Structure 1
């Protein structure tokens, strides 16, 4: 006999001691699932170059002929989608945490909502490490979400305006860090130019100038395409599981330690708190006037796409000639990266909500909602499919496709996930990984079949 049935509560206590359980399908907010499904599919657009190509290939995309399919695809993805899908996913994660924390603090087997909340995040961290270290995807976001989510609980009852202020604070931290990095690059550039001048005059360099010269040469090297280095990386990624694991181990370790504390944590918090504010205002649950969504759409795309366009061409100039670009002291569009991606993301969400309200393509909205309801499964499924397709222990296509050809793979995965999600949810309550996660969270096997 378990702990609940051993002590039967009175009728007045029944609600308080009801068994904790996941959100029922009938209680889900469909618009949240629609946006989450859109973001989940969109994330693959941003991840696919890193699944299928070496990061050392980036300079050749920025400097490709402007009329080539690679450049046009790269430009479109960079301007319209870069960072926006992860932004939406992060916002919805914050909203999801509020939904979870809004549950009544009922006791089951001696545990209340806070216990389940932290257990849920603990297992998310474990799944993130599984994605990074076993599925070998260094771009994992589950670990970051799990760790960042641990700190959200004390903020659950704050007003939307407070969430917004916290989000702006996190963006400000990232902005200050960016300013310091830009100042360092500027100082290295100035030191490099001075060192070159002194060397021409055959004068000795101070240690400070030597360091500045080395720093700037490292920057220039990072912007130049190195075919030999890319081929070496391709060879490693087409190797055995052990070879790929060894190749990615330092990167995974760096991403989940140094990089996490330097940047990822502030990035994730900024968007999570923004998402919490928007959710409390009713944005994601489709409660605002149509006029509000229209204005948000126009403003979001107006600001986000404009900044994205100029930032992209600034990137082209940087990879073409970083010294000339820095010396020109042009407007730092890259500094507005977080504002750009957040506003574009809100533009995407507003467009989706307006389409949802219009009831023009209900089949598409339903399909996206299915993907969103199984977002956890579909996210990990993308890692499984793409690593097996590209890495050496699978089909070994790493580095064999051009940039634009990668998006044929994206389309194929999208089609599969749209169909798979629809079929699966006709028979089951949750996706397979959602079922495992919920069963671990509540430490009780959840009902699976409908």
Structure 2
């Protein structure tokens, strides 16, 4: 069977990354817009019951957890592909990779503590530093570790924590509230009123206490283990892409699609009922399979729909720049020190806004990449990674 050209394989990865970036924005817009913080009465004042129900089911079924799964998978695949390329050049691939991830960690820390507390880059970087410990494992061992961390550890952890009555967030949510109050927050339970404040103390108390809260949520949801497991699965995928044996294996892709839908659809339908969260069994069981079905469907459609799906490759090649820009745009629009729109928009409005911003980013990314090899943040990231006499020779041209 003829292998897909390397250029096509890389464009597919970029396009899938761009698609995942859109999905992550659709997930994050609930936080930026304040919808996630509104009471039932507050939501009812903005939208009728059918619109609220539509938003809930759309988010739970299609969005929640699926796109950070895709992004984590692509991070692991990128590690495997980068290591393969650098090793072929005779470079110290692991050293360069660690340097790259440490720079990402620095970018994430600035983003998390000065721009938006919901940052995901820090978690990706920290888990990325662990990936080299697994890179010598066989494909079978990678898949076993992946399944263990994605399914077994979270399910066992939830059952154990619930049975023992332990605080799943390790007390971080309470600590976040104490920090917020100490820094000037009046009512930490009312996120919308808090974000509407125009004074410096309001913003400072939010941005300083927010990362503590976010890490508490990640502990509660067992996301840390799941992200590492998904990255390991991505490493396996990256190996197969590098060898040209994945994208041509349409039988495997159809099996992933069918299996992902068979498990993911009923589980996520169940997830849309009631106020369930990521620690409830429908999410624990169904999120990753449905995300893998998205990826398999994307890869299967690629040969015939490349002209359409390929447009996602432009924002995908500038994912870091676009991700950070989304945060800056949204806090300027929604936070009190900006336009103060938090808590005022119904679902139709904030979803339309997210799609419009992404469309502008797509067009700007396409224009930028006509004149530059990389996005601004990607170029800065690359410059830091390949600076110095030891690594400069290994930098791709």
- TM interval, shorter chain, is 0.7 to 0.9
Distance 1:184-1:79 versus aligned 2 partners, 3 A rule? farther
Match of 1:53 in 2: 34
2:266 corresponds, among 282, 301, 306, to 306
The alignment's TM-score, normalised by the length of structure 2, stands at 0.81
Distance 1:333-1:51 versus aligned 2 partners, 3 A rule? closer
Distance 1:291-1:102 versus aligned 2 partners, 3 A rule? closer
Distance 1:103-1:261 versus aligned 2 partners, 3 A rule? farther
| Displacement after TM superposition at 1:235 (Å) | 2.7
Distance 1:150-1:60 versus aligned 2 partners, 3 A rule? farther
2:84 corresponds, among 86, 94, 102, to 102
- Residues 146-171 of structure 1 deviation map (CA, whole Å, 9 limit, x = unaligned): 11111111221322211111112213
CA distance in 2, matches of 1:243, 1:364: 44
Distance 1:294-1:63 versus aligned 2 partners, 3 A rule? farther
Match of 1:88 in 2: 70
Does the alignment pair 1:243 with 2:202?
Answer: yes
| Displacement after TM superposition at 1:309 (Å) | 0.9
Task: Determine which structure has more spread, i.e. the larger CA radius of gyration.
Answer: 1
CA distance in 1, matches of 2:316, 2:344: 31
1:74 corresponds, among 56, 59, 63, to 56
Say if 1:56 and 1:229, in contact at 8 Å, map to a contact too: no
1:368 corresponds, among 312, 317, 329, to 312
| Displacement after TM superposition at 1:93 (Å) | 0.4
| Displacement after TM superposition at 1:301 (Å) | 2.0
1:343 corresponds, among 289, 292, 303, to 289
Say if 2:81 and 2:239, in contact at 8 Å, map to a contact too: no
1:431 corresponds, among 370, 375, 388, to 375
Partner SS for 1:148: helix
1:29 corresponds, among 10, 19, 41, to 10
| Displacement after TM superposition at 1:62 (Å) | 9.9
Partner SS for 2:137: coil
CA distance in 2, matches of 1:160, 1:90: 18
Match of 2:359 in 1: 415
Partner SS for 1:158: coil
Say if 2:270 and 2:282, in contact at 8 Å, map to a contact too: no
Say if 1:311 and 1:333, in contact at 8 Å, map to a contact too: no
Say if 1:133 and 1:245, in contact at 8 Å, map to a contact too: no
CA distance in 2, matches of 1:47, 1:172: 27
| Displacement after TM superposition at 1:342 (Å) | 0.8
| Displacement after TM superposition at 1:425 (Å) | 0.7
Partner SS for 1:393: coil
Match of 1:164 in 2: 143
Distance 1:41-1:159 versus aligned 2 partners, 3 A rule? same
Aligned residue pair count: 364
CA distance in 2, matches of 1:78, 1:284: 36
Partner SS for 2:341: coil
